[in-house]
Structure 1
Amino acid sequence: MSLRFASLGSGSKGNATLIESQQGLLLLDCGFTIKETVRRLQLLGHQPENLTAILVTHEHGDHIAGVGPLARRYNIPVYMTHGTAQHKGVAKLPSRHLINTHQSFHIADIEVTPVVVPHDAREPCQFVFRHRQKTLGVLTDLGSITPFIVQQYQQCDSLMLECNHDSRMLAMGPYPPSLKTRVGGQWGHLNNIQAANLLREIETDPLQHLVISHISEQNNTEMLARNAIVEVYGDDQPLLLAKQDQGFDWLAID
């Protein structure tokens, strides 16, 4: 089996991504209840008992709320940074692995590389996954692009990329000023233009799949996000969207 990935859902109401190889099935984040997670896993042909491990990017509720309950009920190992592990919701896990953000590691036959990102959490990171010379990058929940991030996502065969908000919609929208400042700041979330600018700096020719992720329901539209990305990426390759209510089905990296 080649490396493949799917989304249970992506957005401010809950996030979870599956990454599968021949020997491993990883769940990246879990912001849903146990019942909802099980339902969405079943839609993708899996049960919680099939999971090799759960990885956590950071401690915000839409990413971590379901991690502790799911891990405790089904005895699933959890991998996270020292900072994320301070969150009370992931206390008393059956198997906890603290990761060094400067060092790659393996879970089953998948190489996992943490990538430090600027986000308003204790010790947040995103991840790059490798299996049999194929690479999947997942990059959401960050407020700005650093040279280190550009370097780490340079050689992806598939990429899930945050297009959280349109700056004008955010400025004119219903959020209170403090939240607008947080979301639009350097430690918040990527806007459409920032996401597009990352694509200018990395090699996009190898990309088999590019997935717009973590899109705001209040401060963005699919059309605005797509238009910003297409301007850089072009429209001759498929551009997918990870939705809040249904995520997306399996995508194989050949």
Structure 2
Amino acid sequence: MRLCSIASGSSGNCIYVGDERTHLLVDTGISKKRIDEGLHTLGVKADELSGILITHEHSDHIQGLGVFSRKYEIPIYATKGTIDGIKEYKALGKMPEGLLHPVDIDHKFQLGDMEIQPFAISHDAKEPSGYRIEHGTKSVAVATDLGIYDEYTVEHLKNLDAVLLEANHDIHMLEVGPYPYPLKRRVMGEKGHLSNELSGRLLCDILHDNLKCVLLGHLSKENNYAELAYETVKLEVTIGNNPYKGEDIPLMVARRDSISDIITV
């Protein structure tokens, strides 16, 4: 089972999860060309995809969906609220008939070899979700665009082999940065994004000896940078109430403009 970020950041997100027989994308928030290039690097053809999982309808998660869907007609899975949001997003153009399939929060479904479990996240979208994806005894998850987390979130992220976890912003950079005040409030709010510090604290709650890799994602271009996210999350693990130190964690940062290393579990 493989996890790889084709792109992750406030400007566009696209994540690959797959094995030898089943290939999935989580979000298509970049151009068709960039998705194709990322899949080519992974040795996967777009028409081999079993499905596209959409977390929510914001442009940095769906802006490539229209062109990609019209070319390859891959089935799209999302909550009913997210599907409504996709249909309302006029910039996508006309979507091919029959591709949008509604899924329910906390109800598992099967795509090829993979069992998918959507779970609710706190974000200012219609019905946003993260995804836990399992194959046999292996499991990975994508959890971004969540302003807060709670025990429900932690339960859905326990006992993973790998996770892509949001570390969106540095609080100080956001506070003194160029965003207008209402946008700063939104980002820091309960339906906004996880800061580096909160990302580290959430990670403390889901750490276990068999967690093979943590990929920090959805970094803000204006209010964060990779080295700061990396060091802040490591520090939170070190000072947190857990038996681990930051250097114990196999930690990487997903980039907005390049494909990540391939994580194999």
TM-superposed CA distance for 1:172, in Å, is 0.3
Say if 2:12 is the partner of 1:7: no
TM-superposed CA distance for 1:130, in Å, is 0.5
TM-superposed CA distance for 1:78, in Å, is 0.6
TM-superposed CA distance for 1:236, in Å, is 3.0
- Determine the C-alpha separation between the residues in 2 that align with 1:144 and 1:93: 36
Say if 2:214 is the partner of 1:210: yes
TM-superposed CA distance for 1:92, in Å, is 4.0
TM-score normalized with structure 2 length: 0.90
Q: Secondary structure of 2:191's partner?
A: coil
Q: What residue in structure 2 maps to residue 249 of structure 1?
A: 261
Q: Secondary structure of 1:198's partner?
A: helix
- Determine the C-alpha separation between the residues in 2 that align with 1:67 and 1:205: 37
- Determine the C-alpha separation between the residues in 2 that align with 1:147 and 1:73: 41
8 Å contact 1:72–1:93 — kept in the other structure? no
Q: What residue in structure 2 maps to residue 162 of structure 1?
A: 166
Say if 2:37 is the partner of 1:28: no
Q: Which of 201, 225, 248 is residue 236 of structure 1 equivalent to?
A: 248
1:93–1:155 Cα change, 3 Å: farther
Amino acid at match of 2:102: L
TM-superposed CA distance for 1:14, in Å, is 0.9
TM-superposed CA distance for 1:132, in Å, is 1.7
8 Å contact 1:129–1:135 — kept in the other structure? yes
Q: What residue in structure 1 maps to residue 242 of structure 2?
A: none
- Kindly provide the CA deviation profile for residues 208-241 of structure 1, in whole angstroms up to 9, marking residues without a partner as x: 0111111112101222211222120521343111
- Determine the C-alpha separation between the residues in 1 that align with 2:12 and 2:127: 20
1:21-170 aligned within 5 A: 21-86=19-84, 87-88=86-87, 89=92, 91-170=95-174
Q: Structure 1: where are the runs of 5+ without partners?
A: none
- Determine the C-alpha separation between the residues in 2 that align with 1:178 and 1:132: 45
TM-superposed CA distance for 1:20, in Å, is 0.7
1:146–1:237 Cα change, 3 Å: closer
Amino acid at match of 2:25: L
- Determine the C-alpha separation between the residues in 2 that align with 1:237 and 1:202: 12
Q: Structure 2: where are the runs of 5+ without partners?
A: 238-244
Amino acid at match of 1:85: I
Amino acid at match of 1:251: I
Q: How many pairs does the alignment contain? A: 251
8 Å contact 1:54–1:67 — kept in the other structure? no
Query: Which deviates more, 229-238 or 129-138?
Result: 229-238
- Determine the C-alpha separation between the residues in 1 that align with 2:74 and 2:224: 35
Q: Secondary structure of 2:261's partner?
A: strand
Amino acid at match of 1:34: K
TM-score normalized with structure 1 length: 0.94
- Determine the C-alpha separation between the residues in 2 that align with 1:12 and 1:199: 21
Amino acid at match of 2:190: Q
Q: Secondary structure of 2:219's partner?
A: coil
Amino acid at match of 1:148: Y
TM-superposed CA distance for 1:105, in Å, is 0.7
8 Å contact 1:22–1:109 — kept in the other structure? no
TM-superposed CA distance for 1:13, in Å, is 1.4
- Kindly provide the CA deviation profile for residues 1-25 of structure 1, in whole angstroms up to 9, marking residues without a partner as x: xx11111100111110111123210
8 Å contact 1:128–1:136 — kept in the other structure? yes
8 Å contact 1:72–1:94 — kept in the other structure? no
Say if 2:194 is the partner of 1:190: yes
Amino acid at match of 1:50: E
